[in-house]
Amino acid sequence: MAVRTQDARRERTRRRSTAGAVLAALLLAPACAGPRDAPTGITAQEVGATLDRRAAAVMEHDTDAYLAALDPGAASFRAAQRTELHNLADVPLESWAYKVKDVTDKGADRVTAQVELRYRIKGYDKAPMSSSRTVELVRRGEGRTWYVAADRAADGTSGQLWQQGEVEVVRGTHSLVLGVGRRAAELRRIADTADRAVPAVTASWPEPWAERVVVLVPESVEDMAGLLDSPVASYRGIAAVTTGEVGGSGQAPADRVIVNPQAYGMLGDFGQRVVLTHETTHVATRPHTSAATPVWLSEGFADWTAYRQESRTAPEIAPELTEAVQSGDLPAELPADGDFGFGEDAAKLSRAYEGGWLACEMIARDWGEDELIAFYKAVGSRSERDGAVEQAMHTVLGTTTQDFTARWREYLRGRLG
């Protein structure tokens, strides 16, 4: 089915250093840590005190207090920050804090600080999300007070949704949808689909997970790419992706599903259900996914979850692989990680996803769903790829990679031939 190739899941930018968890930071705990090269007379504590005032103002939605921490002489910056604070107004924040990582003296009462912004969405984030920021501060007035003069994403770090516009918030039973520049009715439909996805994932993945999902809906694919700090071309035609920390360190305490509204909107109900169930599966399985997990397993399991309650036939779900099998072009090996890259042609990419799905479906049929879960966890429990799949196949499935691949090829013939 052509929708599969473009329906979203593909690019797991996943900055998925997969299962890590960021240590919790209380909102108004001291936002300071010993800098590596603190200039004489300038301490991280001084910078942290200014940022603490700013953090408190965010949580209290106090515009005057928020602006009071900003450089009085930076008119355009102050205007932009006023707008950004307004954009955040409806986001249900539980905490917002800064941790100073490093301070560099720029002379003339000016410093640059490398800062980690930590924030938590109430009811959804078990630990703070984090985003690296570069903050410039200046010292002014008789009181020699430090003020924030600039605040931007650190190099190699993406922006945040509220920096793109006013955030509309829609709450579902199991979901929280945050959108910018999208109609409330559209966001409500996405929340309703996400609410169906969560119990479907729980039915497939018995391990404990939050059973809640946060969905971000930017205004355009360009804005989606901005949230992922990646080229726009990587996401055209991609309906949704899952990422750990948006703009974060890669040590993800939670995931965000990010929707490309143009591509997602072109899908029908079936495609939209599959997309959000697939992506929600990545949220649930993140703690058991590691560098050892091959892409065919992580993507195949997400597809298995998304399709298992649907009535479509295997050839309908896997049209590209069906065509290949029926023309005698049976894959010799399980899909390699590189086969899932968006630089590949669409047909090859589709065959990779379809092959991973059918590998997981085969495990569930021939060994059982419990063994599929156990196999996924066994692979993900390893920190490195070398030998992880082979060991799990031996201990959980009682087979070898060579035998598994042969069985998979026969399974493709039977299901698609």
Note whether 53 and 282 are within 8 A (CB): no
Answer whether residue 30 shows pLDDT above 50.
no
pLDDT of residue 326: 96
Q: What is the phi/psi pair of residue 107, to 5°?
A: 80, 165
**Average pLDDT, stretch 163-191?**
97
Dump pLDDT digits (tens) for 245-277.
Answer: 433 333 444 589 999 999 999 999 999 999 999
In this prediction, what percent of the chain has a pLDDT beyond 90? 75
pLDDT of residue 415: 96
DSSP letter, residue 140: E
Residue 267's nearest CA partner among 237, 300, 307, 241 is 237
pLDDT of residue 190: 98
Token pair recorded at residue 242: 């899952």
**Assign residue 141 a region: left if phi > 0, alpha if psi is -120 to 50, beta otherwise?**
left
Residue 223's nearest CA partner among 181, 274, 170, 187 is 181
Dump pLDDT digits (tens) for 82-133.
Answer: 999 999 999 999 999 999 999 998 988 899 999 999 999 999 988 888 899 9
Using CA atoms, how far apart are residues 38 and 319, in angstroms rounded to an integer? 60
Task: Mark 128-160 as b/e (b = at least 16 C-beta within 10 Å).
Answer: bbbbbbbbbbbbeeeeebbbbbebebbeebbbb
Token pair recorded at residue 91: 């986001």
The overall average pLDDT reported for the chain is 87
Per DSSP, the residues of 368-401 read: -HHHHHHHHHHHHTSSSSTTHHHHHIIIIIS--H
Q: What is the phi/psi pair of residue 94, to 5°?
A: -95, -30
Using CA atoms, how far apart are residues 112 and 47, in angstroms rounded to an integer? 10
- Using CA atoms, how far residue 237 sits from 7, 9, 157, 316, 320, in Å, is 7, 10, 23, 20, 18
Residue 58's nearest CA partner among 98, 102, 23, 31 is 98
* Pairing outcome for strands 213-217 and 256-259: parallel
**Average pLDDT, stretch 396-401?**
98
**Average pLDDT, stretch 36-57?**
76
Per DSSP, the residues of 162-183 read: GGSSPEEEEE-SSEEEEEESS-
pLDDT of residue 161: 96
Note whether 147 and 69 are within 8 A (CB): yes
Confidence class for position 43, pLDDT limits 50, 70, 90: confident
pLDDT of residue 46: 87
Geometric angle at alpha carbon 65, from 61 and 71, rounded to 5°? 125
Confidence class for position 44, pLDDT limits 50, 70, 90: confident
Using CA atoms, how far apart are residues 361 and 398, in angstroms rounded to an integer? 17
Cα dihedral value 298, 302, 303, 309, nearest 10 = 150
Using CA atoms, how far apart are residues 261 and 239, in angstroms rounded to an integer? 7
Answer whether residue 309 shows pLDDT above 70.
yes
Residue 284's nearest CA partner among 357, 202, 353, 190 is 202
Answer whether residue 4 shows pLDDT above 80.
no
What percent helix, strand, coil does the chain show, rounded to 5?
A: 45, 15, 40
Instruction: Give every CB contact of residue 80 below 8 A, 6+ residues apart in sequence.
Output: none
Q: At 239, is the secondary structure helix, strand, or coil?
A: coil
The sheet that has 110-121: what strands, in order across it?
Answer: 93-105, 110-121, 129-140, 145-153
Confidence class for position 162, pLDDT limits 50, 70, 90: very high
Note whether 47 and 101 are within 8 A (CB): no
DSSP letter, residue 218: -
pLDDT of residue 329: 95
Confidence class for position 13, pLDDT limits 50, 70, 90: very low
Q: At 135, is the secondary structure helix, strand, or coil?
A: strand
Answer whether residue 346 shows pLDDT above 70.
yes
Domain locations in the chain as residue ranges:
44-155, 290-417
Q: Which CATH fold topology does 44-155 show?
A: Nuclear Transport Factor 2; Chain: A, (3.10.450)
**Average pLDDT, stretch 215-226?**
95
DSSP letter, residue 219: S
Confidence class for position 150, pLDDT limits 50, 70, 90: very high
Per DSSP, the residues of 79-112 read: HHHHHHHHHTTTS-EEEEEEEEEEEEE-SSSEEE
